[in-house]
């Protein structure tokens, strides 16, 4: 066009700019010579361009935190970008949330560039190994008719994201919640039983509180006080530390960078953040949806919200759950669901697959999902 990207944007709009980027990408991919191609960051927003990138060669995602991107743009002499509108920081953070799952969709390798020099980034790329492909796209096998959830190899497959439950699935919090219930019941002169546990297993805060009120013989006027007492007791126990369940860190490590990872929990956000921090899992998930943001499980809303934040359709994502309530929620959202029981006495037959441990979703030979 003879114009800079900023000038194209200012004179013709964002669609024209994206069209120019797509045209440049197509022209570069038409070159049969061995090449290293750095694409415009925005081309991942176009589904056709993502297909071209994925089919044409080995794709390395140079991943950076928003803070790194903001610092680079501020320091760059070429940072004339009118599409930042009123807030560059906010624009970059919003775009990062939108683009992250799309970068993950096309990437063969992920190299984190934060606090690395260009030479160190190159070394990391070479250390990862590059699979050289012919520049002409090769035929790809047809997608399977149904979800690929057999032993091993369920990802990336046809699934574009994974959404985890939290309590009892990634972290050993069910014993903490149990202890909080025991203390609450004891304070109100009642004995907490296995039947009490299963009556509220995997359910919402409101449902749990109403169940407690009935057991204590109290009316709903005491609901807020009971829930505050219960959550306050649990928070105090969480603060002492939270253990991860078998296979949790391994499966997150194996999937991270290959597909977007989400969390869908009935627990309120402040407790979710505390649990993830105490378990050493904070920063490992690309999107979080909680019970104080959407209608709780067994309704589909929390899973639907998690998928929306990941930028994927529920039908293209797999949920991993440990409770019947969670399984019903995932299925109601239109997702494939794998169940990993935390309580051997519950029925998880509505799930598409049930495995004893998260480790059963990894190939023991390679550690890959």
Choice between 318 and 127, residue whose per-residue pLDDT is larger: 318
Choice between 81 and 10, residue whose per-residue pLDDT is larger: 10
Highest mean pLDDT among 82-86, 222-226, 264-268: 264-268
User: Which residues fall within 8 angstroms of residue 339, CB to CB, at 6 or more apart?
Assistant: 320, 321, 322, 327, 348, 351, 353, 354, 355
Check whether 7 has a pLDDT greater than 70.
Answer: yes
pLDDT of residue 55: 84
Instruction: Extract the tokens encoding 179.
Output: 């202890």
pLDDT of residue 223: 83
Instruction: Extract the tokens encoding 346.
Output: 């519950």
Check whether 305 has a pLDDT greater than 90.
Answer: yes
pLDDT of residue 12: 78
Check whether 332 has a pLDDT greater than 90.
Answer: yes
For residue 244, the 8-state DSSP code is B
pLDDT in tens, 90-141: 888 888 888 888 888 888 888 889 988 888 888 888 887 666 554 443 333 3
pLDDT in tens, 246-261: 999 999 988 888 889 9
User: Which residues fall within 8 angstroms of residue 318, CB to CB, at 6 or more apart?
Assistant: 147, 149, 154, 155, 159, 161, 162, 163, 335, 336, 337, 338
Scan for tokens 């794709």, then name that residue. Answer: 59
């Amino acid at each position: 066009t003879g114009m800079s990207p900023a000038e194209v944007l200012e004179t013709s709009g964002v669609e024209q700019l994206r069209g120019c980027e797509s045209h440049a990408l197509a022209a570069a991919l038409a070159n049969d010579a061995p090449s290293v191609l750095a694409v415009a960051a925005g081309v991942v927003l176009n589904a056709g361009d993502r297909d071209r990138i994925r089919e044409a060669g080995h794709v390395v995602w140079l991943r950076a935190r928003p803070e790194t991107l903001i610092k680079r743009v501020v320091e760059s002499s070429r940072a004339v970008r009118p599409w930042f509108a009123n807030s560059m920081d906010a624009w970059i953070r919003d775009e990062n949330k939108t683009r992250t799952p799309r970068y993950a969709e096309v990437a063969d390798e992920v190299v984190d560039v934060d606090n690395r020099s260009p030479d160190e980034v190159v070394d990391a790329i070479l250390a990862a190994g590059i699979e050289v492909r012919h520049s002409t796209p090769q035929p790809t096998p047809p997608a399977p008719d149904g979800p690929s959830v057999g032993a091993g190899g369920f990802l990336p497959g046809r699934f574009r994201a994974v959404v985890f439950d939290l309590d009892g699935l990634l972290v050993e919090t069910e014993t903490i919640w149990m202890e909080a219930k025991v203390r609450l019941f004891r304070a109100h002169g009642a004995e907490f039983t296995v039947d009490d546990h299963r009556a509220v297993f995997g359910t919402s805060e409101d449902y749990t509180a109403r169940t407690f009120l009935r057991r204590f013989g109290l009316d709903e006027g005491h609901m807020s006080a009971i829930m505050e007492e219960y959550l306050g007791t649990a928070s105090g126990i969480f603060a002492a530390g939270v253990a991860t369940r078998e296979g949790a860190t391994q499966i997150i490590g194996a999937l991270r960078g290959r597909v977007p990872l989400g969390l869908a929990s009935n627990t309120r956000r402040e407790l979710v953040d505390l649990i993830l921090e105490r378990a050493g899992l904070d920063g490992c998930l690309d999107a979080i949806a909680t019970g104080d943001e959407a209608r709780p499980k067994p309704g589909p809303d929390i899973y639907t919200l998690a998928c929306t934040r990941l930028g994927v359709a529920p039908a293209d994502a797999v949920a991993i759950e440990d409770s019947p309530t969670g399984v019903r929620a995932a299925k109601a959202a239109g997702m494939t669901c794998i169940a990993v029981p935390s309580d051997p006495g519950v029925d998880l037959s509505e799930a598409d697959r049930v495995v004893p441990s998260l480790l059963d979703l990894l190939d023991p030979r390679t550690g890959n999902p």
